[in-house]
Amino acid sequence: MKKIAVIGATGFVGAHVVKELENRGYQVEALARNTSKVETSDRVHADDIDVNNVADLAAKLKGNDAVISTFNAGWTNPNIYNDFLQGSENIEKAVEESGVKRLIVVGGAGSLHAPDGTQLVDSPDFPAAIKPGAEAARDYLNIIKKNTVLDWTYFSPAPEMHQGTSGERKGSYRTDLENPVANEDGRSVISVEDVAVALVDELENNRFVHKRFTAAY
C-alpha cells in the first residue's frame, strides 16, 4: 500500500496525518477545500475538492490504495450537524464509486461511553459549543456501521485531543473500542501527532476493520 488520499488535509488532524504518511514513505494525495497551505513535495500532491461533488471526488480518489478522511464541516458552522452528516455520507459514497476499498474515518470522542454506559455527548456537562458536531459524528458512526462494501474503520480521538496537547510524538499509545482510555489521573489524553501515528498504524496493521476504536496514553 503506497498511495494514500487524505481528505481534510489542511485541518488540525489532517495536516499531521499527511506529515506522518510522508515521513513513512507513502505517496500522499492531500485533498481539501483549499489546499494552498499544503506543503507539496515529491511525495505529497495537493488537489482542491468539494465533498458535495461526489463524482469529482470519486475521480480524484481513484487509484489510491486507501482513504483517510479527517473531514470536518467547521466547529463554528451553524449548520455543522447537517453539513457534517451530508459530507461524511458523500465521502463514503465517493470512496465506493472510486473502487477504493479501505476507508479510515476520523470522527469525534462524543460517541465514546462513560462508565455508566451513556455516551459522552449525552452527559449534561458536555460542551454546548461542540455538541451539534459531536452528535453528527455519533450519528455518522451508526451509519457507517451498516456499510458492507468498504473495509472501514472509525476512529474516535481521546476526549483531550486539542491544541494544548500537540507538539509531542511519543509513538506509543493504548487503544480501546468503546470507552476512553484513561491514564492514572483518570484523564484520556493524546497529542495530535500521536493521533496521526495511530491512524497510520491502523492503515498498516488493519486491527480494527469494521470497528470503531480510540487511542490515548
34-80 pLDDT, tens digit per residue, is 999 999 999 999 999 999 999 999 999 999 999 999 999 988 899 99
- List the domain range (segments joined by +) for residue 108: 3-216
Q: For residue 137, give the CATH number of its domain.
A: 3.40.50.720
Query: How far, in Å, CA of 156 to CA of 110, rounded?
Result: 8
Q: Which residues make Cβ contacts (< 8 Å) with residue 146, sequence separation at least 6?
A: none
**How many distinct structural domains can be found in the chain?**
1
Q: pLDDT band at residue 164, thresholds of 50, 70 and 90?
A: low
Backbone angles phi, psi at 69, to 5 degrees: -105, 120
pLDDT of 68 reads: 98
Choose between 14 and 1: higher pLDDT: 14
pLDDT of 75 reads: 83
| DSSP tag of 109 | S
- Percentage of the chain exceeding pLDDT 70: 97
Query: How far, in Å, CA of 157 to CA of 180, rounded?
Result: 9
Range name among 79-93, 118-132, 152-166, 179-193 with the lowest pLDDT average: 152-166
Q: Which amino acid is at 110?
A: G
Range name among 10-24, 81-95, 124-138, 159-173 with the lowest pLDDT average: 159-173
DSSP for 136-185?
A: HHHHHHHHHTT--SSEEEEEEE-SB-SGGG-S---S--EEESSS----TT
Mean pLDDT of the chain: 95
In the predicted structure, residue 207 carries a pLDDT above the cut 90? yes
C-alpha cell at 95: 470512496
pLDDT of 168 reads: 86
pLDDT of 165 reads: 58
In the predicted structure, residue 1 carries a pLDDT above the cut 60? yes
